Structure 1
Amino acid sequence: MCEKYRANIEAILKDADLSTITTKNIRRTLESQTGTSLDSIKKEINAFIGDIFVNFQQQQETSPVVSKADEIESKVVKKTTTTTIKKPAAPRKRKEVKEKRAIDWPLLKVSPPLSDIIQTDLCSRPQTVKKMWEYIRKHGLQSETDKRVLKCDAKLKELCDGHDENNKTRVISHKVSLISLRLYKRSGYVLFLYLVCCVSSSLDMTGKSTVQLPSYDQLPIDPKYPPKTAWGIWGEDDNFGTLNLLTEERVANASKCVRKGTVFPLNWKLESPQPVLFGRSEIQHSYRPLGPGDLSFDDCYNNFNTQSSTQWDGLRHVAHLESGKFYNGVNPSEVARGNLESNGRLAIHHMARRGIAGRAVLLDYGRWAAKNNPTYDPFQRIEITVEELDMVARAQGVTFEVGDILMVRTGWMEAYERFGDQVKEKIANPEHPECAGVKACEDTFRWIWDHHFAAVAADNFPFEAFPPTDWKKSCHACFLGGWGMPIGEMFYLEALAEDSAKDNVYTYFFTSAPLNKENGVASPPNAICIK
């Protein structure tokens, strides 16, 4: 179906700046040329464009390059053999500065032999080659006499075994593949181009593979998993869940949200809220003098509950309650402490050692409600629907991208600080508090998953309307236990929302460094947004 567009795509690439062109640019130009909408085959045409782009780029890189000396000699010959008439120089046009944007390469399923080398089950083609080079250099597998020739260790041997000389000739020439195969069989060496061939065949390039993530209604990916869970999508041993969506390409694109360099910390005071909710321990802070004269100190936090103030709920916080297991089928005995089955699965240190960075989007429901829902009270159990969130997004001019961190400002924290000491009247029972939040229901779950957010957060203490009417059908059970999606709570969004209301910019570069605590359940996010 897509093959008929090959000539058009190659012609577009021929005249394009390969450092800035995107699949979307190419697809839109193609639609303009043919007068046909390609939306119905968007996934297939994007993958097809990606294949042609790689081939085209390789041809550009391998095309003969004229040396500087040859260029100078050519100019000298022309000068001595021809008479040129100088024309008045035309005024130089200033080139438009185009914002460079990396192609958002699709994530592809990786075969077990390749996964063993690059240490991931999903990867884009450029990142796969990059990780292969890192592995090759780390283990010193290049020949000393010819850096293109690689000595195969056990893992590369397993990757290369079973690939014949007719395999993947569209990636490299038949001749190179044939020579390299003979070289490999004779001595255990292989040309790097042939290895690229083996790598490409180890990436599932079919239309089913280009991990276009399944929709909510297509979950789970295997009947052996509980309904509507994302178990197994990133491998059964995965500890990151939806944070896998924060690829290097998406993080790089997110950095372009930094325009003026203004920084907004998102941690609330560790002393807030007061009193602490849900009967959690209250932090006790003490100093320890290190010498005479009170000239040096250590300080110590006692009874520090990581969920008493601004926090990430990690994947150990709440299980998928209907199945009785945590994300990806992890048994409660693996999470609980003090037994033989205890291990490090899903603990907060995985998030900490990975780090979190990407594009964040703020939906300021609190400000929107002040104009459109005057009876709204963030201290009452009011359910915010996805229809309302869509209206907020339209009012702000916000569009979502895969891998976004969604932040919802309910107005709870602003009201908490505004009431001061009188807030105790609003939260009469701190051990069983109520508040407004996102409605926990099928429509919400479908909306959140189908937007493919990497994480969600809010300025209230539970993200969802609290208390849940059914914990088994709560956002906590669905997001944390079902999808491996972290939930941020009590994020300080006031200064950020105030600034965004002034300049109407609601997308940011977001970073978070959770505490690197082995086997932890939760952590302060130590998050910032940069505009």
Structure 2
Amino acid sequence: MADQKSTTNQRLTQIKDFLTMNKTATTIPWDPDCTKFPTRKELPQIPGAPAEAAWVWGDDDYIGRLNLLTPTRVAAAAKEIRTGEIIPLNLPLDVPNQPAFGRETFKHEIKTLHENIAYDDIYHMNTQSGTQWDGFRHFAHIPSGSFYNGTKGSDIVGPTANQKCSIHHWSTHGIAGRGLLLDYRAYAHTKGINYDPYDYYPISYEDLRQCGLHQGIDIRPIAQGGDIKPGDMLFIRSGWKEAYDSASVEARAKAALRHGSGKDGEDGQRYAGVSQEEKVLDWLHDCYFAAVAGDAPSFEAWPTHEEYHLHEYILALWGMPLGEMLDLERLGKRCRELGRWWFFFTSAPANCPSGVSSHVNGTAIL
């Protein structure tokens, strides 16, 4: 009976596709060139995977939503280049001077090969001490202990370690496509909304929707009548860099070294970011972003006040690259001046076999 119902549904989808000129993803592995994909509530249950896992691109897939960056979409995204202005989105490697979450500080050593003739550099760094991509090895779905596409901790470290979900897979595929900036910080300023980016402040779906409308953008997915297309990349400016630049060196270090849970009046790491709520989960999933990123040490409001983290969904369940601490100040200023919020974005993650994460090495081209 269930098989008959499934067959009937597939036939109805085929008819709808014929009438609408769509191509709906139904058979796993999905074809990334499809024009319509299941919503979060329509996701198929993957045998052996936790609920809501979108491990749909094949058993050996380790790039997740980057599959959506097809040649067709990248070529279309290139049409967003109007002025040709290049805006790097990377903080200097030594910013922040004191990284959050107990991460190591960046250290730079110049090695003399021959005095006055030749020199080398030696970098000592944690790839997530500054502008970073959280790779799929970074954060698991906590209840199941699974990283993206069934990768386990034993695949990452130990005698059976391998290259499942290694960051180098992103590098060999490449990241380029259409980017969208939601400048929530600027929107908040215009509306008299005051908050401290160094404190817990959840930016809700409704906040982002209103921000989008303020910028002339319908942030719903195109399948729901909005402006977001599959494969777009989302950037949210929450104002962390603005606050960092205005703080003293001592204040920055004190904030980065806070200890504790950050909840119920206890000291700890606290940052403004995207809210953990059902509407946000539906939106982030259903837009089929190829990647999402923000300007704070945590893309999501930190610490979470729910039983889950957005990181679990974005990285482990959906396979969506997650960027943090991108420098969106210059980009935000130029987008406001031009009244344009779309751009071409490219990133070159480190080609590091077995790597967990990478600096972004990202560029927006207007």
Question: Shorter-chain TM-score: what band?
Answer: 0.7 to 0.9
Structure with more helix by fraction:
1
Task: Report the alpha carbon displacement of residue 49 of structure 1 after superposing the two structures with TM.
Answer: 6.7
Matching of residue 338 in structure 1 with residue 158 in structure 2: yes
State the AA in 1 paired with 2:302. F
Task: Report the alpha carbon displacement of residue 418 of structure 1 after superposing the two structures with TM.
Answer: 1.7
Structure with more strand by fraction:
2
Aligned partner of 1:229 in structure 2 is: 53
1:215 to 39, 60, 67: 39
Matching of residue 265 in structure 1 with residue 88 in structure 2: yes
Aligned partner of 2:333 in structure 1 is: 498
Find the aligned partners of 1:243 and 1:439 in 2 and give their Cα distance: 24
Find the aligned partners of 1:513 and 1:450 in 2 and give their Cα distance: 26
Note the 1:76-95 alignment, pairs <5 A. Answer: none
Note the 1:369-448 alignment, pairs <5 A. Answer: 369-398=188-217, 399-421=227-249, 423-424=251-252, 427=255, 429-430=257-258, 432-448=268-284
1:488 to 304, 320, 323: 323
Identity of aligned residues (%): 39
Q: Contact 2:32–2:67 (CA<8 Å) still a contact in 1?
A: no
Find the aligned partners of 1:475 and 1:108 in 2 and give their Cα distance: 25
Aligned partner of 1:358 in structure 2 is: 177
Matching of residue 295 in structure 1 with residue 114 in structure 2: no
State the AA in 1 paired with 2:242. E
Residue 298 of structure 2: SS of its match in structure 1? Answer: coil
Matching of residue 460 in structure 1 with residue 288 in structure 2: no
Residue 278 of structure 1: SS of its match in structure 2? Answer: coil
Q: Deviations over 1:314-361 (max 9, x none)?
A: 0000011121111112222112x231x211000100001111001000
Q: Contact 1:279–1:430 (CA<8 Å) still a contact in 2?
A: no
Q: Deviations over 1:457-512 (max 9, x none)?
A: 00001100011234x51011111111111110000000000001111100000000
Note the 1:23-422 alignment, pairs <5 A. Answer: 44=15, 46-48=17-19, 106=23, 122=31, 124=33, 212-222=36-46, 224-231=48-55, 233-292=56-115, 294-302=116-124, 304-335=125-156, 337-339=157-159, 341-398=160-217, 399-421=227-249
Q: Deviations over 1:503-526 (max 9, x none)?
A: 110000000000111110010010
Task: Report the alpha carbon displacement of residue 240 of structure 1 after superposing the two structures with TM.
Answer: 0.8
Find the aligned partners of 1:393 and 1:123 in 2 and give their Cα distance: 27
State the AA in 2 paired with 1:214. P
Find the aligned partners of 2:101 and 2:322 in 1 and give their Cα distance: 17
Aligned CA distance change for structure 1 residues 416 and 334 (closer, same or farther; 3 Å): same
Q: Contact 2:198–2:271 (CA<8 Å) still a contact in 1?
A: yes
Aligned CA distance change for structure 1 residues 526 and 254 (closer, same or farther; 3 Å): same
Aligned partner of 2:223 in structure 1 is: none
State the AA in 2 paired with 1:298. D
Task: Report the alpha carbon displacement of residue 429 of structure 1 after superposing the two structures with TM.
Answer: 3.3
Q: Deviations over 1:171-225 (max 9, x none)?
A: xxxxxxxxxxxxxxxxxxxxxxxxxxxxxxxxxxxxxxx5732111122443643
Please say which of residues 321-330 and 499-508 is displaced more in the overlay.
321-330
State the AA in 2 paired with 1:523. S
Aligned partner of 1:473 in structure 2 is: 308
Structure-1-length-normalised TM-score? 0.60
Q: Which structure: larger Rg?
A: 1
Q: Deviations over 1:121-176 (max 9, x none)?
A: 6265xxxxxxxxxxxxxxxxxxxxxxxxxxxxxxxxxxxxxxxxxxxxxxxxxxxx
Q: Contact 1:109–1:211 (CA<8 Å) still a contact in 2?
A: no
Q: Contact 1:110–1:123 (CA<8 Å) still a contact in 2?
A: no
Task: Report the alpha carbon displacement of residue 422 of structure 1 after superposing the two structures with TM.
Answer: 5.2
> Please, what is the CA RMSD of the aligned residues?
2.3
Please say which of residues 483-492 and 215-224 is displaced more in the overlay.
215-224
Aligned partner of 1:161 in structure 2 is: none
Structure-2-length-normalised TM-score? 0.86
Q: Contact 2:102–2:257 (CA<8 Å) still a contact in 1?
A: no
Q: Contact 1:214–1:221 (CA<8 Å) still a contact in 2?
A: no
